[in-house]
Structure 1
Amino acid sequence: MTRLRRALAAGAVVAAASMVLSGCIAAMIPTSGPTTDPRDPDTSGVSEELLPFYSQELSWTECGVGFDCTTVTAPLDWENPDDGDIEIAITRHRAQKGSQGSLLINPGGPGASGKSFVLNSMSYAVGSDLIANYDIIGFDPRGVGDSTAVQCFDADEMDAYLYDVPEAERGSPEWEAELGEANERFAEACDNNSDGILPFITTINSARDMDLLRGVLGDEELNYLGYSYGTFLGATYAELYPDRAGRLVLDGAVDPATSGLEVGTTQALGFESALRAYMEDCLTDRECPFSGTVDDAMNDLGALLASVDRVPLSVGDGRMLGADSLMTAIIAALYAEDNWPYLTDALTGALQGQAASAIFLADFYNSRSASGYDDNSTEAFRAYNCMDYPVEDDPAAEEAARKKITEGAPTIAPYWEGPDPCEVWPYPPTGSRGAIAASGAGPILVIGTTNDPATPYDWSVAMAEQLEEGRLITRVGEGHTGYNKGNRCVDKAVEAFFIDGTVPDDDLYCD
């Protein structure tokens, strides 16, 4: 069975590429000195078997200018809490004014590091008013980063998995077999190297971990800002713990009722739309390597992709830039409008037979640097998706999706499918897809951007409609997610909600 192309890391971390690419990273200067937290854990309503987890005392150590870090012990299996433990890594930036409590941040993925997101780019994650009024908490969900993590390939093996150009012709049975064997090797390595945690890397378990974080941090309710996949995590929390849901904002929503096949189809159309928006803008710039109409430019880009698919470009370090890696570079740049100049550089270079700018974007997307891979986002992403999404085996639905992508996203379509990597995952999925109402959780704000390629606007509309008290905030514009992107209408509504509890009377449209 085939489905969406690599499924996509739909996270605000990728959307922050413009900050990282331009070098705007907050300083991180480790210091030493453990401290204890004077706030008492909140253990109200906690069962006796979970009380040792919720009553644990945290020991904090300074880990950057204005930040401290710690780890929280959580059950490996929430259904059987005596069956082993895992560690959840968190960082905290204390409120600059009187604290209204903790505000947990998740940047998406699944598989993105919330700890690194807050440590390295807190002012991108949240606005100054929230930094002043809340203890900002970044955390690595189970399986991710500095928490007990999924581990699969070493750097050389990961290079081969992500960048090697298949020998067989695209779309042929031999090509399917070649990619299928690579997926099998990856899944086997994940199982062998992850110390038995793979069956428990699920969004439901991660949502339970968030309630544990709420409790040990001493908050009676969870205040939460989730981007992209983090919206699904936040909605899941509200469904599990409606009486403990405080002020939740879900930005760039994932529709909980959408199947994996539908996700892939909708994202393909979304990235094609974003690519056309980029082309329309590019054609107004004399540096643009394309000319004519948007359709002309898209056809020329399709020809470039086909050319690189036939004859990959040398990167210079032993790797080759094939069509799949070039498509990864394109996708990485489309997450934020500020990154479009980087895409122009990459496509100009590729047209001239030079791979450097394109491989830079692909490496950023894959978290690859000169020293190797900076995180385990690819591994964690696979682990969560393979456990969260039910197995799909409907040839008619597959064919309908393929036709829709071919007609609606003709430039992207040839590079959007392949063997489903979850077919060979060592554990069957335990998740389900369905509407989330979060009955009793109170008002929840949902933000959707009208031309968001990774989490299309319709998904935010759907989530806001599903939630019992969902309020939709529409940001008119390009790129992934909407808060803290310079739209004062969006920012004012979000910050008034978090700081004063002000809920928009109706759905809000921010032009």
Structure 2
Amino acid sequence: MSRRIRVRTSPVAAVAAALALTLALSGCVPWFLPQESPSTSTPTGEQVGDALDPFYSQVLRWKDCGDGLQCTTATAPLDWTEPGAGDIDLALVRHPAIGGKRVGSLLVNPGGPGGSGYDFVKDSLDYATDKKLQAGFDIVGFDPRGVGRSTAVACYEPAQMDEYLYGLTAAPRGTDAWIQELETAAADFGSACAENTGALLGHVDTESAARDLDLLRAVLGDKKLNYLGYSYGTFLGATYAELFPDKVGRLALDGALDPSTSNFDVTRVQAQGFESALRAYLADCLSSSKCPFTGTVDQAMNTIGALLASVDASPIAAKDGRKLGSNALLTAIIYPLYQATAWTYLSDMFESVMAGEADYAFQFADQYNGRNKDGTYADNSTEAFMAINCVDYAYNDDPATMRAQAAEIEAAAPTIGRYMTFGDIGCANWPHAFTGERREIRAEGAAPILVVGTTNDPATPYVWAKNLAAQLDSGHLVTYEGEGHTAYNKSNDCVNNVVDDYLLSGKVPASDPRC
């Protein structure tokens, strides 16, 4: 029985690279002047106090890093409450505006948490933004604190990470002995993260990252923030708006999280979302001639449930010696569900597992987890994902509470829910406890903020976009009626035009266009 799956809100950059996935408006007066992309930055020069002035007054020097991109590194305080206690590096990459009428910088975050905005722009620029935005903005990708090329969280060597992600437990799922095995694994992982990361581990929370975002805005020379955030990136953007409402320029938040949602509710609603996406995949699959399933959608869901139970009891060996358990298989199922264009690959994967083969499933699970073919890991996304989530939410590993919550999750998602339960174990005894409060974000006084939601988004279900748009005092909901995780630049012209018009010209829909 494999360890519990860790569902990320957005591996969109990995999906783009690995799977090759392919209105009445009210006007606003622009507050920018078109300009060329400079080779060095000119900070805004705003007054921030003596302790923060060295950070806000730093000059960025861009250097060529190939393919028309430029790279640099900024410095931020390790601890925003004590700026003199040390600093960290933040890695940036930009694609300078190509249209001759530069609006300014557009900072982009792909989600996760733990996703590399640097790699997102470097490797998947045309997936992150369309040509209209590339013409008008310097597209700036950045690795948040704890992530990738920035000062990063570090925990395990590759072999240890394999065991942490793919290792099998000896005790039956849900038993006290099973819980103890997971608690031991979580404690060992947390201890390794604390030892190998140091003080940074206690300062990778989203509020600190949002303060970094304001620093980047200022040193890039932008009076206000232009920002495109996907999935978890919407929470980062909304947190920024709450902290700095007067600095909000144009924030487009696609695939929104509800900031007030608890860790348990995130898991429950995500389980429902992926179950719904799985049913949508099956409805499409069963209408084709090359589907590995037969019968009705309900019958096919039962087949998938039986398949998960089968590998839970008797894991399938892969050629490299790893064994495919239920949670590794669920990771392989979830990965292609992020985009409907990957459903044909999902059919191929199901067919191989039903034939007793594990390698195709591991290929998907490895892509989701950033594992290379040679057993190394391409990035620290899993470590950063855990570290950020552990300090962003409250957790409770009381067995009675977890079992009650597990029953709710299984009721909400009868096929896959049981493999998404007991998630509090991973963070309940993390070296740095959650100290904040999960609450609604209003961002009073902020300029209009665009919130995009997809009606059958499995990772960030549509209800969260509706909730965030309603919470924000200046939120404007844009609905995409379709499948998949996030909508901009991967759905239809209606969504793309609304987002482009907003980011480039400040126009917001008079009402939800229901794209």
- TM-score using structure 2 length: 0.93
Distance of 2:484 and 2:47 partners within structure 1:
41
Distance of 1:38 and 1:289 partners within structure 2:
56
Where does residue 375 of structure 1 map in the other structure? 379
Structure 2 counterpart SS, 1:64? coil
Q: Is the 8 A contact 1:77 1:200 kept in 2?
A: yes
Where does residue 181 of structure 1 map in the other structure? 184
Q: Is the 8 A contact 1:12 1:107 kept in 2?
A: yes
The alpha-carbon deviation at position 469 of structure 1 amounts to 0.8
Greater displacement, 281-290 / 109-118: 281-290
CA deviation map 1:359-418 (0-9, x unaligned): 110001100012410010110011111111123478887555433322231110221113
The alpha-carbon deviation at position 167 of structure 1 amounts to 1.6
Q: How does 1:393-408 map to 2 (within 5 A)?
A: 398=402, 401-408=405-412
The alpha-carbon deviation at position 18 of structure 1 amounts to 5.1
Q: Is the 8 A contact 1:447 1:482 kept in 2?
A: yes
Where does residue 11 of structure 1 map in the other structure? 10
Distance of 2:265 and 2:79 partners within structure 1:
30
Where does residue 48 of structure 1 map in the other structure? 50
Where does residue 86 of structure 1 map in the other structure? 88
CA deviation map 1:58-84 (0-9, x unaligned): 222211211011110000001100000
Q: Is the 8 A contact 1:12 1:481 kept in 2?
A: no
Distance of 1:492 and 1:156 partners within structure 2:
46
Distance of 2:347 and 2:16 partners within structure 1:
14
Greater displacement, 405-414 / 76-85: 405-414
Distance verdict in 2 for CA 1:243–1:188, change over 3 Å: same
Residue 440 of structure 2 aligns with an amino acid whose one-letter code is A
Where does residue 197 of structure 1 map in the other structure? 200
The alpha-carbon deviation at position 23 of structure 1 amounts to 9.2
Distance verdict in 2 for CA 1:180–1:393, change over 3 Å: closer
CA deviation map 1:200-224 (0-9, x unaligned): 0100000000011001111100000
Distance verdict in 2 for CA 1:401–1:267, change over 3 Å: same
Report the count of equivalent residues.
Answer: 496
Distance of 1:382 and 1:39 partners within structure 2:
34
Structure 1 counterpart SS, 2:89? strand
Q: Does 1:415 align with 2:413?
A: no
Q: Does 1:213 align with 2:228?
A: no
Residue among 259, 262, 267 paired with 1:259? 262
Distance verdict in 2 for CA 1:222–1:201, change over 3 Å: same
Distance verdict in 2 for CA 1:471–1:400, change over 3 Å: farther
Q: Is the 8 A contact 1:18 1:339 kept in 2?
A: no
Distance of 2:217 and 2:443 partners within structure 1:
18
Q: Does 1:58 align with 2:60?
A: yes
Distance of 1:7 and 1:465 partners within structure 2:
28
Distance of 2:234 and 2:387 partners within structure 1:
18
The alpha-carbon deviation at position 311 of structure 1 amounts to 1.2
Please, which runs of 5 or more residues in structure 2 have no aligned partner?
A: 23-36
Q: Is the 8 A contact 1:61 1:69 kept in 2?
A: yes
Please, which runs of 5 or more residues in structure 1 have no aligned partner?
A: 25-34
Q: Does 1:506 align with 2:511?
A: yes
Q: How does 1:98-497 map to 2 (within 5 A)?
A: 98-371=101-374, 372-392=376-396, 398=402, 401-418=405-422, 420-497=425-502
The alpha-carbon deviation at position 459 of structure 1 amounts to 0.2
Distance of 1:278 and 1:490 partners within structure 2:
23
Residue 13 of structure 1 aligns with an amino acid whose one-letter code is V
Residue among 15, 19, 22 paired with 1:21? 19
Structure 1 counterpart SS, 2:469? helix
Greater displacement, 382-391 / 41-50: 41-50
The alpha-carbon deviation at position 243 of structure 1 amounts to 0.8
Distance verdict in 2 for CA 1:106–1:22, change over 3 Å: closer
Structure 2 counterpart SS, 1:373? coil
* Percent pairwise identity: 52
Structure 2 counterpart SS, 1:59? coil
Distance of 2:401 and 2:456 partners within structure 1:
26
Distance of 1:427 and 1:407 partners within structure 2:
32
The alpha-carbon deviation at position 508 of structure 1 amounts to 2.3
Query: How large is the RMSD of aligned CA atoms in angstroms?
Result: 1.8
Distance verdict in 2 for CA 1:289–1:174, change over 3 Å: same
The alpha-carbon deviation at position 21 of structure 1 amounts to 2.4
Distance of 2:21 and 2:468 partners within structure 1:
35
Q: Is the 8 A contact 2:44 2:219 kept in 1?
A: yes
The alpha-carbon deviation at position 257 of structure 1 amounts to 0.6
Q: Is the 8 A contact 1:250 1:446 kept in 2?
A: yes
Q: Is the 8 A contact 2:106 2:137 kept in 1?
A: yes
Distance of 2:170 and 2:8 partners within structure 1:
26
CA deviation map 1:407-452 (0-9, x unaligned): 2311102211135211121111123200000011110000000000
Distance verdict in 2 for CA 1:449–1:280, change over 3 Å: same
Where does residue 25 of structure 2 map in the other structure? none
- TM-score using structure 1 length: 0.94
Distance of 1:489 and 1:199 partners within structure 2:
42
Residue among 49, 52, 71 paired with 2:73? 71
